[in-house]
Amino acid sequence: MAIGRYLDQALRGLWPRFGGGLPGGEELFGKLAALAVLALFLYLLRVGLRALSDRFVGRFGARVRSVVAWLWNLLFLTALAAVFSALFGVGQPAGVWAVGLKLLLAYLVWLGIEAWLEFYLVRRGVDPNLVLLARYTAMVVVVAWTAYMVAGREIAPLIGALGVAGLAVSLAAQDTFSNFIAGVVILLDRPFRIGDWVRLGGKLGRIEGITLRTTRIRTPDNELIALPNSKVAASEVQNLSAGGPLRIHVPVGIAYGADLARARRVLLGVLKEHPAIRHRPAPEVWVRELGDSSVNLELVGWIPEERIAHLPRLAAELTEAAKLALDRAGIAIPFPQRTLWFAEPLRIVQERASQSGSTSE
């Protein structure tokens, strides 16, 4: 308050020099000016302390730096709120500091829970989906406990207000809420794990993360795609990494007049020569169907799990090798063609212009 009165008196003396008297609300103006000056001072102090702390804790890694940065932000906001309370008489500064200390305690508890999840669950090989679900559950519990610590006995009206607000928000954001429910279902059902290669929503990629709103996959082209959980839960999921080695299918067509046994031997050689194809189970060549223009074969071979990431390239390499091998063996790969049959023989009439203007058949 003393700072506010001092600035108010200073502004009273300076304002007439600009050609007028100070308008109404001089004390409020002084308080706002005092708050701005103190906010600037605290901000500069925060920047300096953060730079100093980064210099000493930088060697501990990004995680420690983020924790220290969060603590400095909490200290800055608490100090600013306490100054605001003192200047404008809103609450008690001691109460503001108490709330800040409670938030600090809640943050330290959350850090302890995260450390326990990291060292106890992740390092013991627990399913990452279960770890993620445990993390979100712990986050909800910590937030509820923090709200109870801050509000105390006034938590019941706060819960009622949050319930009404939650109903309004859920009606206004039905898609987000459905994605939240679908995210919980995915974490419980576990159709895939982080790191699995899947075909999802027409996309081939590796699962990079699962949040309560989206599922993120990384494609072989290094594109990061975020799919809404509601679409993931409602679509077909092909998990390519769930069973270890993966069987690959590459279609190839040959002419109807080609020697099928010889073509099979040639294509089996292509499969056996490729370094990514496993010898056990042995590769095969199947006759898939008798198409309109060709006998459609299929090269079938098994690739190890670590080569699933290169599936599109492997299919392209096998297709190219099959084409070159069939060309060397003189086996034709036909282009689409159609044969027309008529019930009666066709009579071809040729008209030729003569000097007399008559036509001949």
One pLDDT digit (tens) per residue for the chain, 361 residues? 454 455 455 544 544 443 344 444 445 555 566 667 666 766 676 666 666 656 665 555 566 666 666 676 777 677 667 666 665 555 666 777 777 787 778 878 877 887 777 777 767 666 676 777 777 778 878 887 777 777 665 555 656 656 655 555 555 556 777 787 888 788 778 888 888 899 887 788 999 888 878 889 998 888 999 888 888 888 888 898 887 889 999 999 999 989 999 999 999 999 999 999 999 899 999 999 998 889 999 999 999 988 888 888 999 999 999 999 999 999 998 887 777 778 788 777 777 665 555 444 4
**Model pLDDT, residue 269:** 94
Query: For residue 339, which phi and psi values (nearest 5 degrees)?
Result: -105, 130
pLDDT at position 137 is 79
CA dihedral 327, 328, 332, 333 (to 10 degrees): -30
- How far apart (Å, rounded) are the C-alpha atoms in residues 347 and 351? 13
Report the DSSP beta bridge partners of residue 227: 215
With contact defined as beta carbons under 8 Å apart, do 307 and 276 qualify? yes
Q: Where are the domains of the chain?
A: 2-176, 191-239, 246-328
What is the spatial order of strands in the sheet that 197-200 belongs to? 224-228, 214-218, 203-210, 197-200, 237-239
Burial 269-288 (b: 16+ CB within 10 A, else e): ebbeebebbeeeeebebeee
Q: Which fold has domain 246-328?
A: Alpha-Beta Plaits (3.30.70)
Residue 180 CA: distances (Å) to CA of 136, 165, 170, 205, 232: 11, 17, 11, 22, 12
pLDDT of residue 46: 61
Do residues 255 and 296 make contact, with C-beta atoms less than 8 angstroms apart?
A: no
3-state secondary structure of 233: helix
Half-sphere exposure of 308 (CA within 13 A, CB side): 22
Q: What is the value of pTM for the model shown?
A: 0.54
- Rounded CA-CA distance 5/7 in Å is 5
pLDDT of residue 290: 92
Nearest to 332 by CA among 286, 287, 302, 294: 294
H-assigned helices in 274-310? none
Q: How far apart are CA 354 and CA 361, in angstroms?
A: 12
CATH number, domain 191-239, options 2.60.40.1250, 2.40.37.20, 2.60.370.10, 2.30.30.60: 2.30.30.60
CA 78 to chain centre: 34
